[in-house]
A = this chain, B = another copy of it.
Amino acid sequence: MHGVKAILFDTFGTVVDWRASLIDALTGFGAARGIAADWTGLVDAWRGAYVPSMDRVRRGELPWTILDDLHRASLERLVAEFGIAGLSAADLDHLTLGWHRLRPWPDSVPGLTRLKARYVIAPLSNGNVALLVNLAKQASLPWDMVCGADLFRHYKPDPETYLCAARLLGLAPGEVTMAAAHNGDLQAARTCGLQVAFFPRPTEYGPHQARDVAADSDWTVVAADIEDLATRMGA
């Protein structure tokens, strides 16, 4: 990791446990409102809509649209598909903001706090800045900067995201490490000249996860989690 000055972190799945957080939030909402539904299935379908919805922006079928608005549109469609009736626009807004209240993995805050002492740390996420700022505030993520996709009007893995984030930090791509629990994100970052760090989140997608359970290339660093990454990066 010679010459690395900043570490960019993928966020959903890498830093925060979106699935368990959203299942709790939606199940709690359903219980409070007396609405029985397959809330777990809805969360998985919601996440399933994530990449296709960004791809519509990437292909130009939609104008630039922030993730909050993609999430909101996907949710509106999915509640109908799941046969959930009686939700108001305000309810859908509230549930969409569940993405602003995701819980960090146990190692995230202590690991990031150690890394912050030695490196510039920032999320590089497909979330929009407002989502990421609110998430950091409630989860105490100690970022130095917040790189949301709306800064670039591009979604990962478009190269503009990695390259513009490095440029904003005043750094060459090789002075920046992209850290993620997703091999595809790291492949795209490496193609742009960034260094890359992997650690698995084997339950991100639930108990039967088949993807990204291990590093699938010779990434610059492979760690167990963010605390271990801090140790391996001398922080």
Of A73-81, A104-112, A130-138, A201-209, the one contacting chain B is: A130-138
- Number of A residues near B (Cβ < 8 Å) is 20
A51 within 8 A of B: no
Question: How far apart are the CA atoms of A148 and B165 in the complex, in Å?
Answer: 13
Q: Which of B120, B129, B168, B169 contacts A145 (CB 8 A)?
A: B129
A160 within 8 A of B: no
| CB of A154 to closest CB in B, whole Å | 14
**Can you list, as one digit per residue, whether each of A162-195 has a CB less than 8 Å from chain B (1) or not (0)?**
0000001111000000000000000000000000
Q: Which of B133, B144, B146, B151 contacts A136 (CB 8 A)?
A: B144
Q: Which of B137, B148, B169 contacts A133 (CB 8 A)?
A: B169
A228 within 8 A of B: no
Question: How far apart are the CA atoms of A150 and B170 in the complex, in Å?
Answer: 11
Does the CB pair A129–B169 fall under 8 Å? yes
A contact patch SS: helix
A68 within 8 A of B: yes
Question: How far apart are the CA atoms of A231 and B171 in the complex, in Å?
Answer: 38
Quick one: copies of this chain in the complex? Answer: 2
Does the CB pair A144–B137 fall under 8 Å? yes
| CB of A96 to closest CB in B, whole Å | 12
- The residue of chain B having its C-beta at the shortest distance from the C-beta of A122 within the complex is B133
- The residue of chain B having its C-beta at the shortest distance from the C-beta of A171 within the complex is B130
Q: Please, which residues of chain B bring their CB within 8 A of the CB of A131?
A: 170
A128 within 8 A of B: yes
- The residue of chain B having its C-beta at the shortest distance from the C-beta of A168 within the complex is B129
Q: Which of B120, B130, B136, B144 contacts A168 (CB 8 A)?
A: B130
- The residue of chain B having its C-beta at the shortest distance from the C-beta of A147 within the complex is B129
Q: Please, which residues of chain B bring their CB within 8 A of the CB of A168?
A: 128-130, 148, 150-151
Does the CB pair B145–A133 fall under 8 Å? yes
Q: Please, which residues of chain B bring their CB within 8 A of the CB of A129?
A: 145, 168-170
13 inter-chain pairs at a CB distance below 8 angstroms, sorted by A residue, are A68-B170, A120-B133, A129-B170, A130-B168, A130-B169, A130-B171, A131-B170, A133-B145, A133-B169, A137-B144, A144-B146, A145-B145, A146-B146
